[in-house]
Amino acid sequence: MRSFDSGISYVVIRVAVLAVLLGNAGNSCSQENNTGEADLEPPVTELDRTHWGFEPLRSVKPPEVSDPNHWCRNEIDQFILQRLQNAGLSPAPPAPRAVLLRRVTYDLTGLPPTPEEVRAFEQDARPDAWSRVIDRLLDSPAYGERWAQHWLDVARYAETDGFEHDLVRPNAWRYRDWVIENLNRDLPWRDFVRYQIAGDMLTHEDPAAVLATGFLLCGPDMPDLNLYEERRHNVLSEMTSTTGSVFLGLQIGCAQCHHHKFDPVSQQDFFRLRAFFESTEWLKEQPLSVSADPGMSNEKAAFGRVISEGGKQATFLKIRGDFRRNGLKVAAAFPRVLSAAENSQSDGRDLTRVQLADWLSSTENAAALRVSANRIWLHHFGEGLVRTPGDFGTMGSVPSNCDLLDWFASQLPLRHWSQKELHRLILTSSTWQQSSVSDSGQEQDPENRLLWRMNRQRLDGEAIRDTLLYIGGRLNRQMGGPGVRPPLPVEIVSTLLKGQWEVTSDEAQHRRRSVYLFVRRNLRYPLFEVFDRPDTNASCPQRSRSTIAPQSLALMNSQLSFDAAENLTNRILREPDRSDEAAVISAWQWCYGRTPSESETIMALEFLTQSPAPDRDQRLHDLCLALINSNEFLYLD
Amino acid sequence: MSGFSNLINRSGFLRASAFGFGQIALTSMLAADDGKKTSAPMAIRSPHFAPAVSRVIFLFMHGGPSQVDLFDPKPVLARHHGKPLPESFGPVMTRRKVAANPLLGPIRRFRHCGESGLEISSFLPHISECADDLCVIRSCHGDSVNHPQSVYQMNTGSILMGKPSLGSWVAYGLGTENQDMPAFVVLPDPGGGIKGGPPAWGSGFLPAAYQGTPMRAGKHPVLHLAPAVDFPDDRQRRMLDLVRSLNRDHHQVRPYDSELEARIEASELAFRMQSAAPDIVDLSRETHDTRKLYGLDDSSTAEFGSRCLMARRMIERGIRFVQLYCGDTIGWDAHENVEKNHSALCLQSDKPVAGLLRDLKRRGLWDDTLVIWGGEFGRMPMSEQGVGRDHNPWGFSVWMSGGAVRGGLAYGATDDVGLRAVERPVHINDLHATILHLLGFDHQQLTWFHNGREERLTDVGGNVIHEVLA
């Protein structure tokens, strides 16, 4: 249509097309008659419901497979092996123990194994040696710190408002701590979800549940917006969109201004979901009861960035998403395509936020179960069974293995909603324990969708920083509390408004784990940014993975790298065996989680004699710096 | 073109294209291994046909400059100042519901400039002097009234986040002539980040090697460009030699992992950037005359002038695509007061931009350099808050300059008030198709196979605007 010569027809056609896209052809030319949109809500058809992401969970039995090599250790392996066999592929051999230990230790804790842990596992001949490793790591507080970061990405967690002024939210960190603590204690997934939606109304179950509602308030906000109504509209709509994508894999935010262009989600669906949040109060941080925050019980009036239920407010559909244009009044209800036809209360009363929380975590909610299970899978394998983990709608990618997805999703309720049990299930499978070094399926399945080998994964910025502090013996393991601000390069700070990066005065705090660093919405910590940490303006279901020169510059030249090399050198120099060979072995163990091969030892010894550094200590320092800069340090086989 | 087609051949590409920037011994090893032609991702490649230009400077006016106050004179709008938009224009989609607001006449007077008589407003006295070198497209249009989406669309062709940017398509298509620098460099405004953020210069599904590398003025144009501690060059080089050996051995048993190759290249590039980057941004050796031409002697123009001068130094040294952002997080987003907002931004950018055009000419860079000036959208003819204007993606101006385009030309037109492109409309896809054409590419053939589809910058659109070509 762009080729039309006549400007007039071009414009007319464009407006008409726009109107069709808006699903609102009848009204687009008439400002007066806009309240009739509800009449035009497209029905959800049976055909719509047949999309895999909207269907109920199918009851799937693990397939019978011929397995003469006894490769299958659990049901996951049966699903995987079946597909591999159908494709004429076979699984990669199991990874060596040292590789497995490095892989699993990073996977569950975001930290590397110590040389002692590697040695212990390699020598552990007990049949349950692997299970013991998994239990040890799942019991470590570092587990919650690691897996919290995955969730905080999803929750678009930050400690400031964003926009121009980017003001600090003094108590936002309590939500981050709630996530860490409850992942560590394996709070049933069902409650993990429920409390984040309606924890303020469920404190009779758990007084701290109120802190979980910080989830709803993690998004950007512009308190200096002239119009309160507009601000309120923005926050509530953002909350609604995020809830839809995080818990349902439904890009319901697309339906804020018009019916979803591809999925059977109407604008009414959006505002019905928003109606659950309409009467929440959140403008000011709220005082916490002592029981919600036992750690602070001696202090008066701890505050939290949490939600409470305020006076009843009606929800109106906003015509074209414009907060000034009320359409019809809508009542709270679940998105039609994911719920049975009857989803309002039979007695005519409105559904409550607790009911939304219950529905989002119900065994009947297939979308919610699939999305959650897929996230767990994703963080173990580097890719989800569905490769668009935030979109299970018709524009999302198709699952690589539908049967496995549904079976795995069904395990969440069956295994008492224990996320740790799902970790165990994956980690004890032969699928996860495959070597990543194999090329047998390269031609046929270069993207490894069938999992004929393990995916190689790159450390993220947080794991890199934590590791550099850890191997140098400098990581401060203190847990919890307000975000920490280590010093930043001056050229970075100079782009901020004055006072936006007040360095934390206690130097020991600068060496805390990355999850405790202050999260400023308008400024990502440079090392994290360069290694693809998402901005916090929207939920991020999966980080991208770029490979760029500035990453190499950061590892080559940053103070963090030089400190790590120096501290690791000092650690090695303190060991009883002062020989070069012992130093090389130790450096390899700390950086790669394994002992060097003969040729590697020769190469390293040669370096220690030939490097231009002035003395042996500094040559060893340069060796450590080289290991930190190498690919093997950055990648998990 | 056949060699290039081979290169683009789907999954084979990355594997076949291993180990860029020459120098790395792995190349021969793997080439022998799979018997395919190998090529570095950054090696110089020929486009589809003889190109008119070989490099691009994109001056991105972040926030959306007002076409009706700069390059698109609207006497009718002046006459209707204070009146509502006539009903004949129909409903208007706007960001902030300004459709019913009174019209705001052009803020400044326009005058005919140069021999061509091209009309430009008094906001831009220096650029006005270059009128005969400007090819103003007055009928650009895009698809979103929001900043981030529009920033993405102007950069990637799509209002969605995460598609490859124009610069990365060019880097992919042409490689770089400078093996020490990335092919695509971005010079962000030090005042603050853009709305939409770094994905605006991302490489999307193209290999990360093609994404834009941000640089800034001063001794540290790239963060961590020099060691944080005293660390002599010979020690660093020896250390990195060991890294290279370690990486080579590591990669040898993982030959199919293209990411490992990419990282080896990135490390080598990082090393070379340490000396190349400071040299490129070092303006001290530029003559007094040149510095003055860009306004470096005046505090109001020095910052943007420095970046314009850096851009010239970059293309001179073989960087293919340089993108400068003019305008902080708010930039040209004149919701409240066009006069105030545009006065400040024009003051800061007018002289440097004119200086850049003149400098390109006198240095013989004119003929094969394309300069593009434009924002993510324009602004509405209706007023906002009295003397401001809301976003307008339905009709706005972008200009191109350089020996390969027709100077002194106003192409296409918006309606009488500057609301919509009505005469020879140029969608952003068309603009991109034209830019690629100038670089020697058929936009329908410059593709990358992704998720079952041959993706391209122009998606399913794009017509080359032949009338603007010189």
Q: In whole angstroms, what is the distance from residue A223 CA to residue A235 CA? A: 10
Q: Is the pLDDT of residue A19 over 50?
A: no
**Cβ pairs bridging A and B (under 8 Å):** 182
Gap from A623 CA to chain B (nearest CA, Å)? 7
Query: At A534, is the pLDDT very low, low, confident or very high (cuts 50, 70, 90)?
Result: confident
Over residues B440-461, mean pLDDT: 85
Average pLDDT of the segment spanning B172-196 = 85
What integer pLDDT is reported at residue B299 of this predicted model?
96
pLDDT range class, residue A296, cuts 50, 70, 90: low
Who among B213, B430, B461 is closest to A550 (CB)? B213
Q: Could you read off the pLDDT of A237-263 as tens digits, one per residue?
A: 999 999 999 999 998 887 888 888 788
Runs of H (alpha helix) within A321-401: 353-360, 366-381
Q: What is the pLDDT of residues A488-516, one digit of tens each?
A: 887 677 666 677 789 999 999 999 999 99
Helix, coil or strand: residue A101: helix
Mean pLDDT of A264-292: 88
CB–CB of A3 and B463 under 8 A? yes
> Of B242, B274, B425, which is closest to A607 when you measure between CB atoms?
B242
Residue A301 binned pLDDT confidence (cut-offs 50, 70, 90): low
Contacts of B420 in chain A (CB under 8 A): 11
**CB-CB under 8 Å, B415 with A548:** no
Euclidean distance between CA atoms A481 and A459, whole angstroms: 25
Averaged pLDDT score across all residues of chain A: 89
pLDDT of res. B117: 97
> Which whole number is the average pLDDT over A428-435?
98
Chain-centroid distance, C-alpha B94: 26
Interchain proximity B250–A526, CB inside 8 Å: no
Band (B23; pLDDT cuts 50, 70, 90): very low
What pLDDT shows up at residue B454? 79
pLDDT category, B95, cuts 50, 70, 90?
confident
The nearest CA of chain B is from the CA of A612 a distance in Å of 6
Disruptive mutation site among A13, A24, A548 for chain B (greatest number of B CBs within 10 Å):
A548
Across the interface, whether the CB atoms of B213 and A548 are under 8 A apart is answered yes
pLDDT at B449 over 90: no
Task: Give me the percent of chain B exceeding a pLDDT of 70.
Answer: 90
pLDDT for B333 equals 96
CB B174 within 8 A of CB B320: yes
Does A37 score more than 50 pLDDT?
no
How far apart CA B389 and CA B383 sit, in angstroms, is 5
pLDDT at A350: 83
Say yes or no for a CB contact (<8 Å) between A7 and B421: yes
- The pLDDT-based confidence of B1 (bands split at 50, 70, 90) is very low
Residue B211 predicted with pLDDT over 50: yes
Min Cα separation B260/chain A (Å): 7
Q: At B247, is the pLDDT very low, low, confident or very high (cuts 50, 70, 90)?
A: very high
Q: Give me the mean pLDDT over the B348-369 stretch.
A: 97
- What are the tens digits of pLDDT across the range B363-401? 999 999 999 999 999 999 999 999 999 999 999 999 999
Of A101-105, A417-421, B22-26, B457-461, which gets the smallest average pLDDT? B22-26
Distances (CA, A) of B319 to B55, B181, B311: 7, 7, 9
Concatenate the DSSP letters of all residues of A424-477 into one string: HHHHTSTTTTB-S---TTTTT-TT-TT-SSPPPEEPPHHHHHHHHHHHTT--B-
pLDDT at residue B208 greater than cutoff 80: no
Specify the higher pLDDT residue, A72 or A322. A72
**Confidence grade of residue A8 (pLDDT, cut at 50, 70, 90):** very low
Residue A193: name the closest of A177, A184, A241, A202 by CA: A202
User: Residue A161: what pLDDT?
Assistant: 87
Mean pLDDT for B167-188 is 90
Measure A560 CA to nearest chain B CA, in Å. Answer: 9
Domains in chain B: ranges and CATH: 2-217+288-468 (3.40.720.10)
Q: Which residues in chain B are contacts of A494 at CB distance < 8 A? A: 190
Of B11, B224, B253, the CB nearest to A558: B224
User: Confidence band (pLDDT; 50, 70, 90) for A50?
Assistant: very high
Residue of A nearest to B234 (CA): A612
Q: Is the distance from CB of B77 to CB of B417 less than 8 angstroms?
A: yes
pLDDT reading at A313 higher than 50: yes
Contact in structure between A461 and A527 (CB atoms under 8 Å): yes
Other Cβ atoms closer than 10 A to A428: 17
Minimal CA separation from B64 to chain A, in Å? 18
Contact check, Cβ <8 Å, B262/A547: yes
Using 50, 70 and 90 to split pLDDT, how confident is the model at B180?
confident
Task: Answer whether A553 sits within 8 Å of B329, measured CB to CB.
Answer: no
The residue length of chain B stands at 470
Residues of A in contact with B87 (CB under 8 A): none
Instruction: For residue range B408-447, list pLDDT tens digits in order.
Output: 999 999 999 999 999 999 999 999 999 999 999 999 999 9
Please say if the pLDDT value at position A14 is more than 50.
Answer: no
- pLDDT category at A291 given cuts 50, 70, 90 is low
The pLDDT score that the predictor gives to residue A32 is 32
Nearest to B182 among A547, A549, A610 (CB): A549
Of residues B396 and A611, more confidently modeled: B396
Residue B193 pLDDT class (50, 70, 90 cuts): confident
Length of chain A: 637
pLDDT of the residue at B366:
97
pLDDT at A294: 56
pLDDT band at B200 (very low <50, low <70, confident <90, very high): confident
**pLDDT higher than 80, residue A231:** yes
DSSP string covering B237-293: HHHHHHHHHHHHHHHHT-TT-HHHHHHHHHHHHHHHHHHHHHHHH--TTS-HHHHHH
Using CA atoms, how far apart are residues B166 and B433, in angstroms rounded to an integer?
Answer: 10
Smallest CA–CA distance from B254 into chain A, residue: A437
Q: How confident is the model at residue B40 (pLDDT cuts 50, 70, 90)?
A: low
With a cut of 70, say whether residue B18 has pLDDT above it.
no
Residue B9 has pLDDT above 70, yes or no: no
Mean pLDDT within A328-347: 79
Q: Indicate yes or no: CB of B259 within 8 angstroms of CB of A458.
A: yes
User: Do the beta carbons of residue A277 and residue A355 sit within 8 Å?
Assistant: no
Q: Smallest Cα–Cα separation from B396: which of B84, B65, B58, B63?
A: B65
